[in-house]
Structure 1
């Protein structure tokens, strides 16, 4: 295997891992964090969400949040002439939707929540909308992860064929 193929495979692997981390964050919010918070009183709900929104802004999360689209884009460029390219481009498009959802909906809702003075009103404005948009970004992130996984399988198969070509005429 050539150095370029190895590097491309490593980037595709890193894209897949970071996408999995992001999809996992959104998934765990959808199936655990938000349903648990739904059981809380308004003041606790708002305080915990504000705390989460504060602590999630850390280098480890940002590494995955920004790394997933960056690594996927680099992988799409590196593998532009490979059979797996359409899967990687589809992953990039799907994650772009999730990224834009976060920027356009979830973050502004988080910002509104942090400025709110009445917990009941704040929660009423925030909860259903945030849960809905989180479900959207979770779904498209899982689609992106599945596409990267499929692209990885196809890339691995093409790398094996390149390393061990079958004899002609067989």
Structure 2
């Protein structure tokens, strides 16, 4: 029973952190370069639409619950005296919070909110888009790397647990 109590949140942590890292990776290598190839006004309008639609229950659940699930798995494994696996899940949660959650709420979301306040026609849309996309994408790269690291730590936790 306790094994299932650790396996379920552990699997969820692994899957959700991988999903978030993959989402951020897709934005870094496809979405943002694609929008950057568009006229500034079109890129702004498209990103405004993306930012509205991405705030959906599935995305928000994965985004918010990945570190919670990792910490829960760590807590159960700690109580089972599987300290190495527990510490790796705790590290996964900490890396996710520090490198995915905090940059999102401190940088990317406020930038999205500022972009949402721009209304067509945007004076010098190309300049506005360039100013937004460069900084937003740089921080998105950070989220991608930390999301990948959180995923790798969760995978390592499963490996350590099964040794």
**1:134-169 CA distance string (max 9 Å, x none):** 000110000000000010111123xxxxxxxxxxxx
Out of 97-106 and 117-126, give the one that drifted further: 117-126
Deviations 1:74-133 (A, max 9, x none): 112212231212211211111012100000000000001111242234313311100000
Task: Indicate which of 130, 138, 162 corresponds to 1:132.
Answer: 138
Which runs of at least 4 in structure 1 moved beyond 4 Å after TM superposition? Answer: none
Normalising to structure 1: TM-score of the pair? Answer: 0.86
- Contact 1:87–1:151 (8 Å) recurs in 2: yes
Gaps of 5+ in 2: none
Query: Which whole-Å CA distance do the structure 1 matches of 2:42 and 2:70 have between them?
Result: 38
Residue 79 (structure 1) aligns with: 77
1:89 aligns with 2:58: no
Give the unaligned 5+ runs of structure 1: 158-170
2:34 is matched with which residue? 36
Q: Compute the RMSD of aligned alpha carbons.
A: 1.2
Bigger-Rg structure (1/2): 1
Q: Structure 1 CA distance, aligned partners of 2:29 and 2:22?
A: 10
Q: How many corresponding residue pairs?
A: 155
Cα distance in 1, alignment partners of residues 71 and 91 from structure 2: 11
TM-score by length of 2: 0.90
